[in-house]
């Protein structure tokens, strides 16, 4: 019995011990697994923390680099801003926009002489520099001024002269003043040349060669080849003391260009006084442009609200009964009139090989400087009137166009290409005329009446024949009626 009890106790103890061992092993294994999991989580957390710390470091480094670059860009821009000069309110001489220049480069490029800085020193123009020196010598002799006095006067005007150019002139003060004095005195001597031919002498290399003075005149009308007009006025006053308060320089300038450019209207001294009192002339090209304008446009400050509408060609208008007539000799070039009974009056336009260059430079100046594009408006109307040589024929026969270009094809091509790449204004001083022409053209009776006139009354003989035929027809009809009545 005792043995059984003891055996049971031993068995119970053994089982308990074994169970405790198993439980302890399981617990140890569970603890180890938990510890391993905790270790892995800790490792992951540390890794994430390390990565986060690395990324933060990278972000801080990138932020420092961006800040450094921003400071460098700001410093560069600040330097450029500090070097900016204030925009001039007297700017009036420009480079021709490239989109216009590429259509006809020759029209904007001087042939024989550079005036001002934009073409100064170009190889094909250097030959004229000796003539400028000789003309300066004549200027000093005639004015009685010393060279030092003239240099001092021009030096005082240097800042104002530079401000007249759109682009910055990269010339030293010495170079700029020397250039302005030579070019300015050359211009004064050229303008005053016709005043007294005896003063020029037999050795004058410019006036004694007609082709050369013609090219000089043409070069003096280019937008890129200008000196400020007030500066020329100062030099003129030095050459002819006592004329500071009159308009003689304007008058001499107008007469000089009128003769060489074949301007049809003779501008009187009164016209020069009108310009002087109502308009600030910027340079020669501006002066020539204003010579094409009637006084009403010259003094206009308001904006037209009328929109120009496209018009039919000269042939189409002629077939609709519109009559083309030569405008009065006293009219300015672009002073076009239209009456509601279908009469379009246009002043004479002399077309030679210099006219296209002049028109193109007018248009370029208006594109760069002017609020009102009067010359471009005029070209728009002429371009729409002229589409074929038949249109040119009508304008030539009515003496509106005096064609020196050789044939009507050249006239057609010129007008059809003048406005390529030019931008016109939204309004036009010719808006009323375009509206009137369109109204007349779209009235059916006007076309029938024109056809009747053209077919039966185009000449006195044809008109007389038509009237005689109508009378004969009426007499025959009356005779037939009376014959019928007598038979009854």
The mean pLDDT value for 85-89 works out to: 78
Residue 470 CB neighbour total at 10 angstroms: 11
CB proximity list for 125: less than 8 A, separation 6 or greater = 110, 112, 113, 114, 119
The mean pLDDT value for 446-460 works out to: 59
User: What does the pLDDT read at residue 391?
Assistant: 97
Report the distance separating Cα 70 and Cα 72, nearest Å. Answer: 5
User: What does the pLDDT read at residue 406?
Assistant: 85
Average pLDDT, the chain: 84
CB proximity list for 416: less than 8 A, separation 6 or greater = 383, 386, 387
pLDDT in tens, 37-62: 666 665 665 665 555 555 666 666 77
141-150, 367-376, 447-456 — which is least confidently predicted? 447-456
Long-range contacts of 116-119 (CB under 8 A, 24+ apart): 116/165, 116/179, 116/180, 116/183, 116/224, 116/225, 116/226, 116/227, 117/165, 117/169, 117/171, 117/176, 117/179, 118/93, 118/165, 118/167, 118/224, 118/225, 119/224, 119/225
User: What does the pLDDT read at residue 227?
Assistant: 98
- CB of 192 closer than 8 Å to CB of 248: no
User: What does the pLDDT read at residue 199?
Assistant: 62
Q: Find residue 93's DSSP bridge partners.
A: 165
Q: How far is CA 412 from CA 104, 267, 397, 407, 421, in A?
A: 16, 29, 15, 9, 18
Percent of the chain with pLDDT over 90: 52
Report the distance separating Cα 123 and Cα 55, nearest Å. Answer: 64
């496209």: which residue's tokens?
Answer: 310
User: What does the pLDDT read at residue 16?
Assistant: 63
Residue 433 CB neighbour total at 10 angstroms: 18
Report the distance separating Cα 56 and Cα 230, nearest Å. Answer: 68
Out of 35-49, 299-313, 368-382, give the one with best mean pLDDT: 368-382
Band the pLDDT of 353: cuts 50, 70, 90: confident
Q: Is the pLDDT score of 335 beyond 90? A: yes
Q: Is the pLDDT score of 400 beyond 80? A: yes
Q: Which residue has the higher pLDDT, 232 or 14?
A: 232
Structure tokens at 321: 């009964």
Residue 382 CB neighbour total at 10 angstroms: 23
Q: Where are the domains of the chain?
A: 98-291, 314-449, 457-487
Q: Is the pLDDT score of 9 beyond 60? A: no
Band the pLDDT of 3: cuts 50, 70, 90: very low
Q: Is the pLDDT score of 266 beyond 90? A: no
Report the distance separating Cα 126 and Cα 67, nearest Å. Answer: 53
Q: Which residue has the higher pLDDT, 467 or 153?
A: 153
The mean pLDDT value for 468-481 works out to: 73
Band the pLDDT of 14: cuts 50, 70, 90: low
Q: Is the pLDDT score of 373 beyond 90? A: yes
pLDDT in tens, 17-30: 666 666 667 667 76
pLDDT in tens, 416-428: 999 999 987 678 9
58-67, 294-303, 443-452 — which is least confidently predicted? 443-452
pLDDT in tens, 167-211: 999 999 999 999 999 999 999 999 998 776 666 677 788 888 888
**pTM for the model:** 0.79
Report the distance separating Cα 263 and Cα 355, nearest Å. Answer: 10
- For the chain, give the secondary structure using H, E and C: CHHHHHHHHHHHHHHHHHHHHHHHHHHHHHHHHHHHHHHHHHHHHHHHHHHHHHHHHHHHHHHHHHHHHHHHHHHHHHHHHHHCCCCCCCCCECCCCHHHHCCCHHHHCCCCCCCCCCCCCCHHHCCHHHHHHHHHHHHHHHHCCCHHHHHHHHHHCHHHHHHCECCCCCCCHHHHHHHHHHHHHHHHHHHHHHHCHHHHCCCCCCCCCHHHHHHHHHHCCCCCCCCCHHHHHHHHHHHCCCCCCCCHHHHHHHHHHHHHHCCCCCCCHHHHHHHHHHCCCCCHHHHHHHHCCCHHHHCCCCCCCCCCCCCCCHHHHHHCCCEEEECCCCCCCCCCEEECCCEEEECCEEECCCHHHHHHHHHHHHHHCCCCCHHHHHHHHHHHHCCCHHHHHHHHHCCCEEECCCCHHHHHHHHHHCCCCCCCCCCCCCHHHHHHHHHHHCCHHHHHHHHHHHHHCCCHHHHHHHHHHHHHHHHHHHHHHHHHHHHC
User: What does the pLDDT read at residue 1?
Assistant: 45
Q: Which residue has the higher pLDDT, 177 or 450?
A: 177
């Amino acid at each position: 019995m005792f043995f059984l009890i003891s055996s049971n106790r031993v068995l119970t103890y053994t089982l308990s011990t074994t169970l405790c061992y198993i439980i302890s092993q399981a617990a140890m294994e569970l603890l180890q697994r938990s510890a391993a999991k905790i270790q892995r989580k800790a490792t992951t957390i540390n890794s994430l923390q390390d990565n986060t710390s690395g990324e933060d470091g990278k972000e801080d480094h990138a932020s420092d680099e961006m800040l450094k670059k921003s400071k460098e860009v700001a410093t560069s821009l600040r330097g450029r801003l500090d070097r900016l000069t204030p925009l001039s309110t007297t700017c009036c001489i420009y480079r021709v926009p490239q989109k216009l220049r590429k259509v006809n480069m020759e029209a904007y490029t001087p042939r024989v002489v550079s005036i001002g800085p934009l073409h100064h020193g170009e190889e094909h123009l250097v030959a004229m520099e000796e003539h400028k020196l000789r003309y300066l010598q004549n200027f000093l002799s005639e004015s009685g001024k010393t060279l030092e006095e003239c240099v001092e006067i021009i030096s005082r005007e240097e800042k104002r002269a530079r401000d007249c150019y759109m682009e910055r002139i990269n010339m030293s003060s010495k170079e700029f003043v020397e250039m302005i004095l030579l070019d300015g005195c050359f211009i004064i001597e050229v303008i005053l040349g016709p005043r007294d031919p005896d003063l020029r002498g037999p050795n004058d290399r410019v006036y004694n060669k007609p082709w050369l003075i013609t090219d000089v005149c043409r070069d003096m009308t280019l937008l890129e080849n200008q000196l400020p007009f007030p500066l020329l006025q100062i030099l003129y006053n030095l050459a002819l003391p006592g004329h500071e308060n009159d308009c003689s320089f304007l008058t001499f300038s107008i007469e000089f260009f009128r003769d060489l450019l074949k301007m049809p209207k003779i501008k009187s001294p009164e016209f020069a006084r009108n310009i002087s009192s109502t308009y600030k002339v910027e340079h020669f090209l501006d002066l020539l442009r204003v010579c094409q304008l009637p006084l009403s446009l010259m003094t206009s400050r308001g904006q037209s609200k009328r929109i120009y509408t496209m018009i039919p060609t000269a042939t189409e208008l002629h077939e609709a009964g519109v009559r083309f007539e030569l405008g009065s000799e006293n009219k300015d070039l672009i002073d076009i009139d239209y009456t509601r009974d279908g009469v379009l009056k246009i002043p004479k336009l002399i077309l030679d090989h210099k006219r296209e260059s002049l028109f193109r430079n007018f248009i370029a100046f208006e594109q760069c400087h002017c609020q009102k594009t009067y010359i471009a408006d005029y070209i728009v109307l002429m371009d729409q009137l002229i589409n074929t040589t038949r249109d040119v024929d009508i304008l030539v026969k009515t003496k509106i166009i005096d064609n020196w270009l050789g044939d009507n094809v050249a006239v057609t091509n010129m007008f059809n290409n003048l406005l390529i790449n030019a931008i016109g204004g939204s309004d036009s001083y010719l808006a009323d005329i375009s509206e009137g022409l369109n109204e007349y053209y779209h009235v059916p009776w006007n076309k029938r009446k024109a056809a009747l006139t053209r077919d039966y009354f185009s000449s006195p003989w044809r008109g007389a024949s038509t009237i005689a035929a109508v009378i004969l027809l009426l007499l025959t009809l009356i005779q037939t009626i009376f014959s019928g009545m007598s038979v009854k």
